[in-house]
Structure 1
Amino acid sequence: MNRSHASGDVTSPGAAVAGSRLARRRRWTVVAACSSAVLSAGGVYATQWVQSPAEAAARTQAPQASVITAPVVRQVLRNTLVFRGSFSDGRTVTATPTGVAATQPASQPSASQPSALVVTDVFARPGQRVKAAQPLVEYDARPVFALPGAFPMYRDLTVGDEGKDVVQVQRALHSLGRPTGSDPSGTFGSGTAAAVRHMYAAMGYAPPLTTSAGTVSQDPGPEATTTLPSSEVVFVPSLPARVVSVPVHVGDAVKGPVVTLARGDMTLTGFLDPSERGLVTAGAKADILAEATGAHATGTVASVGALVTPGAGKDDSASDDSAADARQDSAYVPVRIGGGGSWDKTFAGQDVRITITAAATSRAVTAVPEAAITAGADARSTVTVVPASGGAQRVVPVTTGVSADGLVQVTPTRGHTLRAGDRVVVGT
């Protein structure tokens, strides 16, 4: 019996073999393509790390040289000097009471018992400016005050005394508007005594009196005459004076100075390097800054002194500021700076920075930085100009002048030009 098969139900062996071969070919084609892609990518990557000898040499060469330039300027050249200075009190005077006016005619003065003196009031404070016959400190209910004069009060003065210290007292009384009557100059007479009494009355104190026995009293009894005790008066060359210190409080025993006054205003001394001596002259403007407090002021150079060498036997009498001078351990030139008046009290005792700017040229000049100047083998000075357009550099011979603050005055030689705004080489 014959059997028939539908063509779609049975696959022949030849067809199956052919399909298998075709699939294998396709797989090999895909693998080959992927391998080729990987190899290509690796080759590209590898070429980035492989250099020819020429390329390696080019990479190791120094970069092309460039130049540093600065502009040519036209201005007045100025020298700016900065140096240290110190404020001080100059010469000072102190008041140290050693005796007190007795309250009874028969009482003995207490000059031999200084420990008995007690501070009973304090009127002055540091930095304050005080005038003549103004109570500063009170001890045992007696005032300490200042009068104008340079001669020290070395003794008690009373009727009948004579001398230049009496002349000084009379002049001080006249400055207060207290006439001394018909007393001759230098003689403490009744007119001078009356002026002293009026001065004490204006201060609110009874005038001290001395008896025929030599005791001091405040009782205007028989044979008592007016006196001016040395313990109560301190003479200062000029008034008003500045209070430097008041080292006592109410209730303290008097064991030393009760007040210290400056004989004049604060002084500012600058310590200038000797090599810069010729750059500073009297009248130059100065800028003063106290870095510690931020205080700022302007002043004028009052004087430029002679060279000072510490330890070389400098005459301290030439300076009112030997304490400040002693702070320097190297040679210097003292420069005194005036403030055009009284310095602010915040400068007291301060070390400060002093800046002085002085014109080095009387008019505007063409100038370049010092680094732009080149000296050739022929000793001629030149500058190299870099054109703004980027063209070739040109060398300009110049004649140099004064220098200040890193700039040098230059004048181009005949046939050459150099203008403000041109760029000159200062380095590479």
Structure 2
Amino acid sequence: MPEQASAGRHDDQGWGTAVSPQQRTDEEASGVIFDSSDGTAAPVSPPRRRRHPVRTTLIIATAVALATAGGVAATGALGGEGDEPAATAPSGPERTAAVERRTLTRSETVDGTLGYGEPDTLQAPGGSRSGTLTQLPGEGDVIKRGESVYSVDQQQVPLLYGGAPLYRALSSGSEGDDVELLEKNLAALGYTGFTVDEEFTAGTAEAVQEWQDDLGREETGKVAPGDAVVASGARRVAEVKALIGAPPSGPVLTWTGTERMVSVDLDTTYEDLVKKGTKATVELPDGNSADAKVTEVGNAATAKPEEGDSGSGSSDEATLPVELSVPDQKKLGRYQAAPVEVTLAADTRKDVLAVPVAALVARKGGGYAVQAVAAGSVEHRPVEVGLFANGMVEISGDGITEGLKVGIPR
């Protein structure tokens, strides 16, 4: 190529721009000659000068200058002595929160069912007992100690409290735990003249005769296995199975305890949340709530697939049967059965320092820090994390004190 094609010019700061042959031609036509020996331009003849290239250069230079000035102003990078103050960058996070000293409780809310629990079936005594059922309770009836559960041939079969059924005939001279159970119930019903122990004495026999008279039964002074029904306490009739006029055999009724309780089929994922004594809160359909406590934790069981189910999915997930008592039954209102929400309080940490979880900043290499905001500056301080609960997290570490302001990153 000709040498003039690679000729160039330099500005005052040394930045180079290439000059094309066409530009050289234009300069000659405009009366400006480029001197390659010292990089200067010399005027030739002033008449009829054309300065379009120079005007273009001035326009470009002006645009660059304006763009540069705009960028500097936008970033606030320039300080100066002008009348307008320079913009400054934010000195800290837009949102902050104070480190709090509080109690954290980890909890989980699950679905539950309010009711009287799973009913038990009462079987009429087997053997050679004959007769006809002449009285049965109604569904929902509550039967207490000494009251009739049902009647056979107009003779009442009362309820006694205890842990084991009457399994043999008791009379004077009998000894054992079942004798003590009988005597405890007779004493609770107001009968006297005997000592509550494991011996069936003449005094016990006299008390039994008085009891039988009050029940409208034959006064034998002896007690046979079918003469009374034993349960752990008062019972509420859930369903009557037998019919009046039928013989006293087979299932007579189903019943439950008299206090309403909450049942939960708990996902085994939350198995660590429950044990006997775990506290909970029960929320009723009307929004009211009542305190509850775990009383029974069963063994994990897998639900049977429903008809038409392939056997995969949630039907195969194991659940844990959990029962909770509600000490203050009045707080349950008039609900007899209802779906409820149960909030299990699994873990509690008292008097700890805590911040919103959003205040945590992940550190390179692992662990967490918080942005401590103090005296107009921001400092990242490493922290150890503890319990996470309800959007808060327990933290500790050097320089972490109650009331310290920490940033909430976007």
What is the identity, as a one-letter code, of the residue corresponding to 1:258? V
1 CA distance for matches of 2:239 and 2:322?
A: 30
* Partner of residue 391, structure 2: 406
What is the identity, as a one-letter code, of the residue corresponding to 1:235? V
* Partner of residue 208, structure 1: 218
- Give the alignment's TM-score, normalised by structure 2: 0.55
Aligned-residue sequence identity (percent) comes to: 21
Q: Is 1:143 aligned with 2:156?
A: yes
* TM-fit CA distance, 1:233: 1.0
Q: Is 1:340 aligned with 2:323?
A: no
Q: What secondary structure sits across from 1:72 in the alignment?
A: strand
Q: Is 1:253 aligned with 2:246?
A: yes
* Partner of residue 12, structure 1: none
2 CA distance for matches of 1:284 and 1:182?
A: 40
Aligned-residue CA RMSD (Å): 4.8
- Give the alignment's TM-score, normalised by structure 1: 0.53
What is the identity, as a one-letter code, of the residue corresponding to 1:133? G
* TM-fit CA distance, 1:247: 0.7
* Partner of residue 79, structure 1: 106
Query: Counterparts of 1:198-237 in structure 2 under 5 Å?
Result: 198-203=210-215, 205=216, 207-208=217-218, 225-237=220-232
Structure with greater proportional strand content: 2
1 CA distance for matches of 2:158 and 2:400?
A: 78
Number of aligned pairs? 301
Residues 205-245 of structure 1 deviation map (CA, whole Å, 9 limit, x = unaligned): 1x225xxxxxxxxxxxxxxx4443433410123x3x12233
* Partner of residue 85, structure 2: none
Q: What secondary structure sits across from 1:367 in the alignment?
A: strand
Q: What secondary structure sits across from 2:148 in the alignment?
A: coil
Q: 1:270 to 1:69 in 2, by over 3 A?
A: farther
* TM-fit CA distance, 1:286: 1.4
What is the identity, as a one-letter code, of the residue corresponding to 2:390? D
1 CA distance for matches of 2:236 and 2:400?
A: 69
Q: 1:406 to 1:179 in 2, by over 3 A?
A: same
Does structure 2 retain, via aligned residues, the 8 Å contact 1:82–1:354?
Answer: yes
The match for 2:350 among 355, 359, 362 is 362
Query: Counterparts of 1:13-412 in structure 2 under 5 Å?
Result: 71-75=96-100, 76=102, 77-85=104-112, 89=117, 92=120, 94-96=122-124, 111-112=129-130, 117-119=132-134, 121-123=135-137, 125-126=139-140, 128=142, 130-157=143-170, 164-179=177-192, 181=194, 185-187=198-200, 190-203=202-215, 205=216, 207-208=217-218, 225-237=220-232, 239=233, 241-247=234-240, 251-254=244-247, 256-262=250-256, 268=262, 270-273=264-267, 276=270, 284-291=278-285, 296-301=289-294, 308-310=299-301, 330-331=317-318, 337-340=324-327, 352-357=340-345, 360-363=348-351, 365-370=353-358, 372-379=359-366, 381-382=368-369, 396-402=380-386, 403-410=388-395
Q: What secondary structure sits across from 1:200 in the alignment?
A: helix
Does structure 2 retain, via aligned residues, the 8 Å contact 1:93–1:262?
Answer: no
Q: What secondary structure sits across from 2:408 in the alignment?
A: strand
What is the identity, as a one-letter code, of the residue corresponding to 1:177? G
* TM-fit CA distance, 1:85: 4.2
Residues 36-78 of structure 1 deviation map (CA, whole Å, 9 limit, x = unaligned): xxxxxxxxxxxxxxxxxxxxxxxxxxxxxxxx97652444233
1 CA distance for matches of 2:399 and 2:196?
A: 84
Q: 1:330 to 1:180 in 2, by over 3 A?
A: farther
What is the identity, as a one-letter code, of the residue corresponding to 1:81? E
